[in-house]
Amino acid sequence: MRFKHALIAVALAAAASAGTWALLGASQSAAPESTFVLLDGSSQTTADLRGKVTLVNFWATSCTTCVAEMPDIAATYQKYHARGFETLAVAMSYDPPSYVVNFAESRKLPFKVALDNTGAVAKAWGDVRITPTTYIVNKRGQIVKTYVGAPDLGELHKLIEQLLSEA
């Protein structure tokens, strides 16, 4: 019985230390230099986002999770925008532009929406293929968190508040 407990203790210690290593080893990487073509025809670059905490969300109108999370993303944007928070929703290349425009207008999305017609932006951001994929970028232009699937809102808001309070 003691041997079994010892093995469990060793396994737990190894798991804890691996988790710590993963956290320590998770370095912040610079957000890729990209040009986002917005629905109004204007463009914005990654460099334009520096100085703001930014949520970059890759999504599609055909993605049920994406559609379901949009009200939460809009509410998050409205909650933090006045404090220097930006949101950029990047529609995947396979999403028909007319569907994206209709979605953004009919739901009155309050943040910027970009079309990735060629797929170059998704490729630059880690070859995004799964939607939704969301990146949180700090004021220095570094990716600090990636969510595949809908993020936990409590965790997301806590992270945004922490990043907004940094110099």
CATH number at residue 80: 3.40.30.10
Per-residue confidence (pLDDT) for residue 25, from 0 to 100: 33
Residue 28, pLDDT score:
75
> How far is residue 37 CA from its own chain's centroid?
18
Task: Kindly report the backbone phi and psi dihedral angles of residue 136, in degrees, each rounded to the nearest multiple of 5, phi listed first.
Answer: -110, 125
| pLDDT by 10-residue block (mean), the chain, 167 residues | 38 33 52 96 95 98 97 98 97 98 98 97 97 98 97 97 93
The Cα 143–Cα 76 span in angstroms is 18
Length of the chain: 167
Residue 22 resides in a domain: no
Give domain status of residue 129, yes or no: yes
How many domains does one find in the chain?
1
Query: Is position 100 within any domain?
Result: yes
- Quick check: is 7 in a domain? no
Question: In 10 A of CB 151, how many CB atoms?
Answer: 22
Whether 8 is covered by a domain: the verdict is no
CA distance 165 to 163: 5
Residue found under tokens 């914005």: 44
Structural tokens at position 163? 């990043």
- 107 is a domain residue: yes
For residue 151, the enclosing domain spans 29-165
19 within some domain: no
Give the per-residue pLDDT at 167.
77
- Residue 98 domain flag: yes
